[in-house]
Amino acid sequence: MNPPKFDKVEDMADLTHLNEASVIHNLRLRYLSDMIYVRLFLVAVNPYRSLPIYTDEIIRSYKNKRRYEMPPHIYAISDIAYHDMLQGRENQSILITGESGAGKTENTKKVIQYIATIASDSTNTKKYGILEQQILQANPILEAFGNAQTIRNNNSSRFGKFIRIEFNSAGQISGANIERYLLEKSRVTYQTPEERNFHIFYQLLKGAPSAIKKKFLLDGSLDDYRFTKHSRKDIDGVDDIAEFEILLNAMNIVGISEDEQVEFFRIVASVLHLGNICVTSGRDDQAHILDTSVAEKVCHVLGVPIDAFIKGLIKPQVKAGREWVAQARTKEQVLYSIEALAKALYERSFGALVERINKAIDTPSNKAYFIGVLDIAGFEIFQTNGFEQLCINYTNEKLQQFFNQHMFILEQEQYKLENIEWDFIDFGLDLQPTIDLIEKTKPVGILACLDEECVMPKATDKTFVEKLHSIWKNKSPKYGVPRFQQGFILNHYAAKVEYTTSGWLNKNKDPLNENVTKLLAHSSQPYIASLFSDFLGDTTDYGTKNRVKRGVFRTVGRRHKEQLHSLMQQLYSTQPHFVRCIVPNAKKMAGKINTPLVLDQLRCNGVLEGIRICRVGFPNRLGFVEFRQRYEILAPRILPEGYVNGREAAHKLLEAFKLEGNQYRIGLSKVFFRAGVLAELEEVRDNK
Ligand code: ATP
Ligand code: MG
């Protein structure tokens, strides 16, 4: 519908006919010409190949440029954020969202690369100072331990992160801090045959020097360990051995000593051994560990005594009334607690790794401002959706709410500032009802209800969902009861999602065998002991009560909610910039763009909604001077000779153009136009 002149426009608000079809058409044409970025807010389409658009030269060309001077690029957003920070003395955030494989992490790296380049101490002759290098090298470390190959992405981040880059008042980088959200720890013990465990498992088993393998008794290969043998072993085009070298190099640059490095590998080794403990079931249905050789390896690596370890697993002490009694476990129970332990070890060590990196890069001095970069998974809507999806979708609901408020309220505030005629529109995009349903405590929302059931002695997943129905059924338009499954339906911003609630109580409580965690807390290996120090304390009290009192025991849902609140608080204190990443096709292929798939993402991430707002509002604006300079030739001799003030001139010109009154507004310093009007004027101007 749009004249060919508007093919491949940089800013979608310039399209005369602004609708889904024209937006996707434009995106597609641009994409096929390797122009992967488009504006309205920044949209980035994954090219699935390396484009020559991230060179030092291009970085330089974006430095200090005005907003619309250069084509859209992740560097343009980074530069704007940096500038606005210094000029407006305000913290900034860059929110990068999108589906798995859309390019969030790649774009995050580009932001950091850009900022590290332009904000490096200029007296330094090297390209990056040591601090900048350390910040850049944090990433390969995080990726080795926190990323994995999945069906959708060969390097999929299985955790979310918020990286704050701190600056001194002169605008030089003074430090950084990484906050981590939700690690998909279930991957440690289970992967589908098309996917892999976290990269480090493969890197270590393939690439570690024999001294390390010997130290941790790793005499097998990937096929010998239960937690790796069912997975894929290789990723196309990736050399795990070379990646291991990259990891070691990164750790060295960050300043993690060899002794410390080994401790992180200790955890990986112990997890591998844990998976191989052979548990059998006796006639009495009780669990046995007849062959103790693997358990001995585990205990050697973890620094705990073997007898107490095995006893703690198969016949733990539990509290019965006031007494402590030994209670025999079934094979399934023991396997469950071994896997829970493996996951806890890995997750806690990942947390410690992030802390260790922060210790290197988070300097206490000179923090005047920050730019925060958020790289977090977008809405997940699968065939079956569980507790993990609820946590992710809850996060996205909050981020979308933030986006809506920013976009729609700020835009309208601009109109008010310019004093143009405008009735405030409520776009009906308040997502608070859905958010309340998840996080409220009065009436009891989903997370609070789950927490309550977690402390009820006889509660089950079923009683949980029944209680939820009794509170919310027919009470909220955002809540629904599914016809067939045990679960509930939530009306999210992106879509209606049906959740299955099996296993939720356990996932939320995330229980560990405390007989064993106590042993770990007293491990002869200081690193292991430090990871479980929250289980230290009164040796006769094996219960969780103690920990509740000390405030350490928190459910998974509650912890996530608290973290999310802290994130939102920070975001609301910044000036945000939004980057929407788009995966072009499901085949990880370059040069192919699947229209329905892309359209669906544009819908989910608010791009189409943003365009709808643009259509009712006045998305294009031009200062009086520029307007006159550019368009006076469309109505020559209209303006009288001599001085005319800008507003008056704009008024006269617009009248002469015979535009419908509703197509524009004249503000205090600018003329505002409906979408497409300016483009039409351009068309006429070109034909002159
Ligand atoms: P996940 O949610 O799974 O972590 P993601 O959105 O972080 O996904 P990335 O890991 O950033 O996705 O991108 C997936 C892959 O796509 C990259 O490994 C890379 O091969 C390719 N890719 C993404 N963006 C670009 C880009 N701008 N240039 C070249 N390749 C890219
Ligand atoms: Mg990622």
Q: Tens digit of pLDDT for each residue in 326-384?
A: 999 999 999 999 999 999 999 999 999 999 999 999 988 788 999 999 999 988 888 99
- The rounded distance, in Å, linking the Cα atoms of 340 and 198 is 17
Distance 392 CA to ligand 1 centre (A): 19
534 lines ligand 1 (CB under 6 A): no
- The rounded distance, in Å, linking the Cα atoms of 19 and 576 is 25
Choice among 22, 105, 107, 385 that is catalytic: 105
Angle, nearest 10°, between helix axes 258-275 and 293-302? 150
Active site residue 105: yes
Atom 2 (ligand 1) nearest CA: 100
- The H-assigned helical ranges of 418-477 are 432-439, 446-455, 461-472
Atom 21 (ligand 1) nearest CA: 48
> Residues, the chain, total?
688
Structure letter (DSSP) for residue 5: G
Choice among 91, 97, 101, 404 that is catalytic: 101
Residue 422 has a pLDDT of: 86
Q: Which helix (H) or strand (E) holds 319?
A: strand 317-320
- The rounded distance, in Å, linking the Cα atoms of 450 and 294 is 37
Q: Which residues of the chain have pLDDT under 70?
A: 1-3, 5, 16, 66-68, 121-125, 538-553
Ligand 1 pocket, mutate which of 153, 163, 585 (most atoms under 8 A from CB): 153
Atom 9 (ligand 1) nearest CA: 103
Active site residue 378: yes
- Listed in sequence order, the residues at least 6 apart from 361 whose beta carbon sits closer than 8 Å to its beta carbon are 131, 134, 135, 138, 175, 176, 177, 178, 254
Distance 377 CA to ligand 1 centre (A): 12
Active site residue 93: no
- The rounded distance, in Å, linking the Cα atoms of 477 and 491 is 8
Residue 676 has a pLDDT of: 77
- The rounded distance, in Å, linking the Cα atoms of 305 and 312 is 11
Distance 430 CA to ligand 2 centre (A): 28
pTM summary value = 0.91
3-state SS, residue 678: helix
- Listed in sequence order, the residues at least 6 apart from 295 whose beta carbon sits closer than 8 Å to its beta carbon are 277, 289, 306, 309, 310
Active site residue 101: yes
ipTM > 0.85 for the complex: yes
Amino acid at 610: G
Ligand 1 pocket, mutate which of 42, 58, 75, 105 (most atoms under 8 A from CB): 105
Residues facing residue 11 across a β-bridge? 39
- The rounded distance, in Å, linking the Cα atoms of 664 and 681 is 12
Q: Are strands 670-673 and 664-666 parallel, antiparallel or unpaired?
A: antiparallel
- Nearest to residue 182, comparing CAs of 380, 479, 384, 454? 380
585 lines ligand 1 (CB under 6 A): no
- Listed in sequence order, the residues at least 6 apart from 582 whose beta carbon sits closer than 8 Å to its beta carbon are 27, 43, 44, 45, 46, 98, 102, 103, 598, 601, 602
Active site residue 555: no
Active site residue 255: no
- The rounded distance, in Å, linking the Cα atoms of 544 and 536 is 11
